[in-house]
Structure 1
């Protein structure tokens, strides 16, 4: 009897966690594109107005960012204004939870058939590299090494700490601005 009550609560908790992480990651993608030249260079190859979404099927949480040009992303807090160019879709909330709680690398989740990619595979790889760079900055090295395919060897502690502080500050500022607008 208790197990029947706990299972829905656990599913709701996972959903809330994934939703919160998607909001954070969307804002963090915007922030890292403002502070890191490597991310800007990687993103410059994307067309202006390029829409990227990460979502949980069928109607789960999602994050949507738009490439504004010059290597910068804008996090969209609502539905995309038009069809997205690239969508990474987790097949179940439990699969998304494994990835955004850093228990499973994105590449492993893809290999285990836990997610789908709808769009140009070259752009999906580019976005994955951007997400990996973001995670390398904002996560402690021990966790980041578990989360990304390859931790950047050239990322020294001073650069990591300074960039992480700038990213977190921008994310916090964006959360406050969003709350004020509501």
Structure 2
């Protein structure tokens, strides 16, 4: 009897966690494009106006970012101003939770058929590299090594700490601006 009451609460907790992580990651993608030259260089390979979406199927939580040019992203929240160019979709909230809680790498989730990519695979690989760079900065190394395919060997602690602080500061200020609006 207790299990029947706990199951819906666990599902709701996962859903809320994934929704919060999408909000943080969307804002962090915008922040890293302002802070890190390497991420900007990678993003310059995307066309201007390119819309990227990550979501939980069928109509769950999502994040949408737009490449506004010069390697910079703009976070749109969960609504796109027009049809997206690339969508990475988790098939179930449990699958999204595994990736967003860093229990499973994105590449492993894709290999285990837990997600779909709708759009140009080259752009998906490019966005995955940017996401991996972001996670390498903002997560402790022991967690980031579980989350990304390959932790950057040239990422030293001073650069990591400085970049992480700048990213988190921009994410926090973005949250505050959103609350004020």
- Unpaired runs of 5+ residues, structure 2, are none
| 1:3 Cα deviation after fit | 0.7
Secondary structure (helix, strand or coil) at the match of 1:176 reads helix
> Is 1:64 aligned to 2:68, yes or no?
no
Report the aligned-residue RMSD: 0.5
Aligned equivalent of 2:19: 19
* CA–CA separation in structure 2 for the residues paired with 1:103 and 1:17: 14
TM-score (norm 1): 0.99
| 1:65 Cα deviation after fit | 0.1
* CA–CA separation in structure 2 for the residues paired with 1:106 and 1:74: 22
Match runs of 1:27-176 below 5 Å = 27-176=27-176
* CA–CA separation in structure 1 for the residues paired with 2:77 and 2:108: 28
Residues 143-177 of structure 1 deviation map (CA, whole Å, 9 limit, x = unaligned)? 00000000000000000000000000000000000
* CA–CA separation in structure 1 for the residues paired with 2:79 and 2:62: 9
TM-score (norm 2): 0.99
Report if the CA contact (8 A) 2:87-2:117 is conserved: yes
Secondary structure (helix, strand or coil) at the match of 1:54 reads strand
Secondary structure (helix, strand or coil) at the match of 2:48 reads coil
* CA–CA separation in structure 2 for the residues paired with 1:172 and 1:83: 28
Residues 15-55 of structure 1 deviation map (CA, whole Å, 9 limit, x = unaligned)? 00000000000000000000000000000010010000000
Secondary structure (helix, strand or coil) at the match of 1:79 reads coil
| 1:78 Cα deviation after fit | 4.0
Count, aligned residues:
181
Aligned equivalent of 1:9: 9
Point out 4+ residue stretches in structure 1 off by more than 3 angstroms.
Answer: none
| 1:105 Cα deviation after fit | 0.0
